[in-house]
Chains A and B, each alone.
Chain A
Amino acid sequence: MCTGRVDLSFILRAFSNGTDGVFIGGCWPGECHYITDGNIHALNMVNLCKKLMEHIGVNPQRLRLEWLSASEGIRFAEVMNDFGNQLKNLGPLGIGEGIDQDELKSKLQEVTKLIPYIKLVKKDKLALRLKEEEYNELYTSDEVDRLFSEVLSYYIDPDKCQACQICFRRCPVEAIEGGKNQIHVIDQDICIKCGTCFEVCPPRFAAVNKISGQPVPPPIPEEQRTIVRKSKGKGGG
């Protein structure tokens, strides 16, 4: 396992658990013990994470990535002491920022839920290979704010869905309810907004709508989901 294995969700999980700071240690650039430069992957991810923290009002200084080799015991101690002092100065998570604990919790939950979406939308940027210092500028606050304001959702138009089950089968997280002759419905709590349903819905039905920055219409009630084919008219009971 490598520093590059550290997942956005690990960091957010730690903050959700009330941890005041998260420290990640990585091998020095150019000294990757694999050949993968996972340390640089981690640097990229950490820069993104800091912007996410900023977006929800958490001080990004609570997350720190440092390069340390196994032989740098003294430096490691210095860095940790420094980080410890820094956190003490910042105060407890949320209180230091002046955010209400419940609000903080729900914001962290919101971001956590969006992690798959963020990974997907920022896929290309997360894979970029740049010079070490260039990562600092890679993500902007505007960009992250937009990420949230323009967040996509997918909605299956009950009027168009023919219950062909393609999206139902292909959804990677099993967020689509439905079955034979049952109009498909996306469970927005499970959906990771990957767009697979949108991609695979046969063009002749075009039942999946992409919604950006707008609220998603409520799901069609369960008792109205059965399609009666003989009527040739509208779906629904």
Chain B
Amino acid sequence: MEKETAEGQLLKIPADGNFGDVLVVGGGISGIQAALDLATSGFRVFLVDKAPTIGGKMAQLDKTFPTNDCSMCIESPKFIECARHPNIEILTYTEVDSVEGNAGDFKVTLIKKPRYIIEDKCTGCTVCVEYCPVKVPDQFNQNLSSNKAVHIYFSQAVPLVTYIDENCLYLKDKKCSICVGACKNKAIDLHQEAEKVEIKVGAIVLAPGYEIFDPKLRGDYGYGTMENVVTSLDFERLLCATGPHEGEILRPSDKKHPHKIAWIHCVGSRQVTPGGNSYCSAVCCSYIQKQVILAKDHDAEMQAAIFHNDIRSYGKDFERFYQRAEKLPGVKFIRSYVSIGKEIPETKNITIIYATDEDGVKEEEFDLVVLGVGLNPPAAVKGLAEKFGIELNSYQFCKNNPVNPIETSRPGIFVSGAFQGPIDIPESVVTASGAEALCGQLLARRRGKLAKERIYPPERDVSEEETRVGVFACHCGANIGRVVNIPSLVEYAKTLDNVVHAEEGLFICSTDAAEQIANTIREKGLNRVVVAACTPKTHEPLFRDTLREGGINQYFFDMANIREHCSWVHSREKEDATQKAKDIVRMSVARSALLQPLQEFDLPVNKTALVVGGGVAGMTSALSLANQGFEVYLVEKEKDLGGMARRLHYTLEGLDVQAYLQDVIRKVYQHQLIHVLTDATITEVSGYVGNFITKVQSEGRIKEILHGAAILATGAAEYKPTEYLYGQDDRVLTNLELEEQITKREERLINSQSLVMIQCVGCRQEDRNYCARICCSQSVKNALKLKKINPQMDVYILFRDMRTYGFREDYYREASNKDVKFIRYEPRNKPQMEAVEEGGQSILKVTVTDPILGQELAIAADSIALAAAVIPSAGSQEISRLFKVAMSPDGFFQEAHVKLRPVDFAAEGIFLCGTAHYPKHMAETISQAYGAAGRAVTLLSQDSVRASGSVAEVNESACIACGACTAACAYGAIQFEDTKQGKKAVVNPALCKGDGLCNAVCPTGAVSLKHYTDEEIFRQIDAAVPDVAAAR
């Protein structure tokens, strides 16, 4: 449907036009991901943000749920990736003025607001900030601390340059210009004016994000009038080491540690009263649990009360995260609506009035109250919609295509991130990659035409040089510097063998610091670099790149982790921590001397993709890839395409699923670039990123498919209940069976007087400790349908927490208004059911204890619908074994990183989407399918990929062909070859993943893992206790 519009537009693009560019509006995590994916797959990108830096809301968060990764730490490497990407032009402090034209050929006018700083000249030294006399509330810190009228937005900002805001005395009434004199680089220009920039682009990705709900608009929470009432975003800043109190949680009124904190859920969400939003904001339940866990980390004695109305832990691993928070000592989750009582004048403590089933109404005092504020549409959203000529939905978020949430109402303009509606970080990343896929479909023929290749300086040959180590020690704001004495560490480093240079930095990962390292490498002739900072897991790629910029081999780098391994764990033992940091750096320096230059090598990329699974996810991915010009093999184990969607008939939002599905199937079969293999089994997978070989058995023949990438979309299954007489009594149905019978208007069902739905059957329990995400909405959907068909029917939904997150909340409310009866039950008191004869009729008697009434209710039902869990499909396990990809403990595919690589596997070249990843609604599946296609295209659009230099190698003369290494290698990367001297092991570096098991089992030392050789590690071990080792 929409795709045809896009394809139609494509034809109108003048063949010689240069509109391969894409405009990305909004530099939060979604915009950043879209920009990176687009740029990597061969488009030139303008990344525009109205803020003085990219980063968005994620930069303000302390940690991210459910893994508690440090938010800035995982996001900021992406800032630098954007800044360094030759295809990305970042325009900050810039707004879009107007958009003209059509898909494939937009003319966009941008207004670059005056930052009164000449960006090219500013070094980010912040001398001007010191001189500036005007103190202003710091926006980045939610106005909880102050900054100056001239300042850098935050330490890792990109670009790392200052800006002057409207509080400047000169801008106000030409009174002061002290900063101009203070700036040695003459970078300040107080007469700067707004600049108009006109660009031509082929497509636009809107990623303007969201605003938080402003509780000031409602008098009832005391926000803005009571000092110790803060929003959850305020609290993020309070938690954060770069926050107003350097990570100490101090309450606003007296800057004292609060020992008793209350969190209030659903502030501004799930409210139909004026000023509130009717929808559920979808992220608050989990972020509040995160804040509770972190606050307990800060202060183990802290008492917490969390006031909620349903805990919506519907995402992957959210349920366990909730359990983790709930089990903490001194933490109470209380199901109750609340109101703020009063502020106690002497202590400024706040009272909260609430009610529980057991105790009735209570008023309790807290030191601090955190409001779990919801997500609002972005600021000035109406103007934004007008500018871009797009429609908004009734909630003022972007109106999107129900079967493709990434499409707006205007062809050529796509939407990613929270402007779609309240979604979390992984979904913002998925939709960003999906937006890239859709831009790719529109502009496929222009891919690469404008792309630039990154050029590095030539690599210096250091083989004849003496070892010259440079040590760079990072304060990480206060993260390290507050605990470890960095100046003393630097002085110590200077005394170590081979160290010719050592220096410190506030944030070594910031763009200017990285540039500085590259310069120092050249100026001081460094040939080894040790960065003492955080974890190589997030930052090693960045620093390796810096070494390349500095003109030396990237493997001459070692990272000494003095944050996770030191300052974070020894925050109370500063002296010992400093000593430990010295030990860590000494070991790192010792190892670095032995590091060898390693070459990464290019592997050619086969441009064909394999998609496993012919459900909605697999077909959507396949179509997107094919529409971008890539050949696709689509493998389905059943004889028909469609997967689980074959059993769905309508969505909550009213889509006719079968009509949609037939349309997609038709498109798949008609597409010249898609080869469909049904009744197919994958028997063998070999090869590696860019060059896989997969054998598929279909229609009695085995076909060998060569492909560069694979998308695994093997779907999920419905749990077959053993509970509630399922299978014994045909009046007991699963949700899918109910939907089938409703669609067929099965008389017995339709004429039921009473129907009971039981939620959480087979999940949220010990053996399946997750929430199946979709069942609450499915039940509401079916209940509404039944009420429409037979308004007389009594429909009951027995639930634990209603998890109708996001806009689905309105349907929950609608069902409630239509007299669907929602009765909550406790897991320890599950509903009971028996088939009984009553008045000569056979009925199903359901008994359930209503916690509100405290009574047992008995319902006579004619039909029962069980919200049976979504469970991993039978085939996923085998597929994961064949492709050697990870599975989560629950049996779903395990993505590479929960937040930032949600559709990648850790294994390169393999991607995932759909319910094989986790249960999800159809629209979410479709989004993710586009996301997976987008990620696959970042690979398939390349002619070659780089493989790591840190692989095993065999010293042939030392090999005795004992077979220990070949047995240890699960990747099949080592094989024997015949030589004159007998059989010898040989490593295929393309298959080697560098785990080093072979090295550890080799008796003769013939196998060694490059970059982690025995000698390098011995050197490090010896340096750990230098005195003893020296005496050896």
Contact = CB atoms under 8 A, between A and B. Distances in A.
Interface of A: 1-2, 4-10, 13-14, 16-19, 30-38, 41, 45, 70-71, 73-74, 76-77, 115-117, 119-120, 123, 126-127, 169-170, 172-173, 192, 194, 196, 200
Contacts of B959: 172
B516 interface: no
The 9 closest A-B pairs by CB, nearest first: A5-B996, A18-B1028, A2-B995, A119-B1003, A36-B970, A120-B1003, A172-B958, A172-B1004, A116-B1003
Nearest to A8: B1000
Nearest to A174: B957
A5 B1012 contact: yes
B957 A41 contact: no
A17 B1032 contact: yes
Contacts of B562: none
Interface in B1008-1024: 1009, 1012, 1014, 1017-1018, 1021-1022, 1024
Nearest to B907: A35
A173 B960 CA distance: 10
Given A13-B1018, A17-B1032, A194-B960, A123 B970 contact: no
B1021 A123 contact: no
B225 interface: no
28 contacts: A4-B1000, A5-B997, A5-B1009, A7-B999, A9-B1014, A10-B1018, A13-B1018, A14-B1024, A17-B1021, A19-B1028, A34-B970, A36-B969, A36-B995, A41-B997, A41-B1001, A76-B569, A115-B1003, A116-B1005, A123-B962, A123-B1003, A126-B964, A127-B968, A170-B981, A172-B1004, A192-B1003, A194-B962, A194-B1003, A196-B960
A17 B1002 contact: no
B1025 A19 contact: yes
A134 B75 CA distance: 43
A8 B1017 CA distance: 12
Interface in B952-982: 957-960, 962-964, 967-971, 981-982
Contact of A6 (B297, B906, B1000): B1000
B1029 A123 contact: no
Given A1-B994, A119-B1002, 18 more contacts: A1-B996, A2-B997, A5-B1000, A5-B1012, A13-B1022, A16-B1032, A17-B1022, A17-B1032, A31-B886, A35-B971, A36-B970, A36-B995, A41-B1000, A116-B1003, A119-B1003, A123-B962, A170-B981, A172-B1004
A30 B981 contact: no
Interface in B853-912: 884-886, 889, 906-907
B1003 A17 contact: no
B988 interface: no
A192 B1002 CA distance: 12
B1025 A18 contact: yes
Contacts of B67: 70-71
Given A17-B1025, A192-B1004, A35 B886 contact: yes
B1017 A10 contact: yes
Given A45-B1000, A120-B1003, A172-B958, A71 B68 contact: yes
Contacts of A123: 962-964, 967, 1001, 1003
Contacts of A31: 886, 889
A102 to B, nearest CB: 12
Contacts of A8: 1000
Contacts of B921: none
Contacts of B1028: 17-19
B245 interface: no
A139 B736 CA distance: 53
Nearest to B537: A70
Interface centre among B994, B1004, B1009 (most CB of A within 10 A): B1004
A172 B983 CA distance: 13
A169 B957 CA distance: 9
A35 B297 CA distance: 33
Contacts of A120: 962, 964, 1003
Nearest to B883: A35
The residue among B957, B964, B995 with the most chain A CB atoms within 10 A of its own CB is: B995
Interface string B416-427: 000000000000
A65 to B, nearest CB: 14
A10 to B, nearest CB: 6
Contacts of A115: 1003
A199 B685 CA distance: 37
Contacts of B1014: 7, 9
A33 B994 CA distance: 12
Contact of A119 (B889, B963, B964): B964
A17 B1026 CA distance: 8
B218 to A, nearest CB: 36
A117 B1003 contact: yes
B585 interface: no
A32 B957 CA distance: 32
Interface centre among A7, A41, A73, A76 (most CB of B within 10 A): A7
A54 B300 CA distance: 40
Nearest to A11: B1021
B1012 A127 contact: no
B23 to A, nearest CB: 37
Given A1-B1012, A10-B1017, A116-B1005, A17 B1029 contact: yes
B956 to A, nearest CB: 10
B1018 A35 contact: no
Contacts of A36: 968-971, 993, 995, 997
Nearest to B957: A172
B577 interface: no
Nearest to A194: B960
A176 to B, nearest CB: 13
Contacts of B884: 35
A36 B1004 CA distance: 22
A29 to B, nearest CB: 11
A17 B963 contact: no
A200 B568 CA distance: 57
A37 B1000 contact: no
Contacts of B967: 123, 127
Contacts of A173: 958, 1004-1005
Nearest to B884: A35
B611 interface: no
A112 B969 CA distance: 25
B689 to A, nearest CB: 14
A207 to B, nearest CB: 19
A172 B1014 CA distance: 17
Nearest to A200: B982
Contacts of A126: 964, 1001
B1006 interface: yes
B1021 A5 contact: no
Nearest to B1030: A17
Most chain A CB inside 10 Å of its own CB: which residue of B568, B968, B1022 = B968
A117 B1001 CA distance: 11
A40 to B, nearest CB: 10
Contacts of B569: 73, 76-77
A70 B950 CA distance: 23
Nearest to A74: B297
Given A1-B995, A18-B1025, A35-B970, A170 B982 contact: yes
Interface in B105-138: none
A76 B565 CA distance: 11
Nearest to A33: B906
A129 to B, nearest CB: 10
Given A1-B995, A2-B995, A19 B1024 contact: yes
Contacts of A38: 995-997
A9 B1014 CA distance: 9
A37 B884 CA distance: 12
Contacts of A41: 968, 997, 1000-1001
B981 A169 contact: yes
B999 A17 contact: no
A54 to B, nearest CB: 21
A13 B1021 contact: yes
